[in-house]
């Protein structure tokens, strides 16, 4: 965990402002970028999970509809090869 950021709050023309040392600002900015990158990775993983669940649902439907005497290989291959 980083050091505490010392800041000074003051009012200019009725608006509250905060001043801090440039190195503290750089640390905050780096943290903001890290959080943004983590959020982007989480969004991408969520998207991939939704796609995977959709594929699994298609596979389950193919298996449920299949006649036990027929091979499902071709239908499953098409379902797995189509990412939509």
Given a contact cutoff of 8 angstroms between Cβ atoms, the answer to whether 72 and 62 are in contact is yes
Domain ranges for the chain: 7-81
Q: What is the DSSP string of 31-66?
A: HHHHHHHHHHHHHHHHHHHHHHHHHHHHHHHHHHH-
Given a contact cutoff of 8 angstroms between Cβ atoms, the answer to whether 25 and 2 are in contact is no
The 10s digit of each residue's pLDDT in 50-68 is 999 998 998 888 888 888 7
The 10s digit of each residue's pLDDT in 18-28 is 999 999 999 99
What CA–CA distances, in Å, run from 80 to 12, 61, 66, 73? 61, 13, 16, 10
Q: Is the pTM of this model over 0.95?
A: no
């Amino acid at each position: 965990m980083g050091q505490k950021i010392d800041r000074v709050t003051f009012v200019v023309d009725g608006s509250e402002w905060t001043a801090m040392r440039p190195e503290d600002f750089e640390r905050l900015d780096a943290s903001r970028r890290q959080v943004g990158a983590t959020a982007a990775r989480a969004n991408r993983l969520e998207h991939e999970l939704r796609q995977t669940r959709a594929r699994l649902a298609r596979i389950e439907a193919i298996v449920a509809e299949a006649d036990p005497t027929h091979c499902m290989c071709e239908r499953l291959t098409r379902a797995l090869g189509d990412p939509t």
